[in-house]
Amino acid sequence: ASIGERTFVYGLPELQRTAIQQAKNIANPGCFATAIQLGLLPLAAKSLLTDVYTTGITGSTGAGQSLSSTSHFSWRANNIQAYKTLDHQHIQEIGQSLAQLQGNGKADLHFVPWRGDFTRGIFVTSVISSDWSIDALYDLYEAYYAGHAFTHVSKSNIDLKQVVNTNKCLIHIEKQGNKIAIHSVIDNLLKGAVGQAVQNMNLMFEIEETTGLHLKANYF
């Protein structure tokens, strides 16, 4: 993307690390966009995506610093709400990355985001149809993310406390019949925002990618 005379590279290292290393300007991805894409990139790389049905829940910090009725604690406590159903601003951003991997194979993303009763973190689940076995899917994901320091594939159930306060993304896959559910979790303030910005800065300046990001999850 370009703004005036400045050209920006999309800053998702798991998608295009080399381009980031050579960039002068980075466009840092959105938080939902990061969580959803990390769950789908290996499938897009094999052109396996057509219709994708995604739900995702985010904490109150996903709304930013400005006070609003739906970010106030008294509203969020013991409450949940869908918003921007099928019309979230990150859908186009995600579509561009998936198209970059799939070429002419278009993936239609149907996304319903939720506001959750917690402060930090994003939990996303994407459902697709596939005849691939669960073992083959895990092999695909593990191969794709080999060498990526912050994205990990887990065969056990995942939850927000494993990633909040870290720059990590955890991915878990389940299958019933020909339906595949891909779960991914991140901290929206770190891997979904400033942590990823630091990761991109490290790559741009040829610093060890994990510098400043050796963080311990709240779970431990």
**Active site amino acids:** 31
127-153 in b/e burial notation, b at 16+ Cβ within 10 A? bbebebeeeebbebbeebbeeeebbbb
Taking the C-alpha atoms of residue 169 and residue 149, their distance in angstroms, rounded to an integer, is 10
Cβ(103)–Cβ(139) below 8 Å: no
> What is the number of helices (H) and of strands (E) in the chain?
6, 11
Q: Say how far apart CA 158 and CA 166 lie, in whole Å.
A: 14
Distance CA 219, CA 13 (A): 25
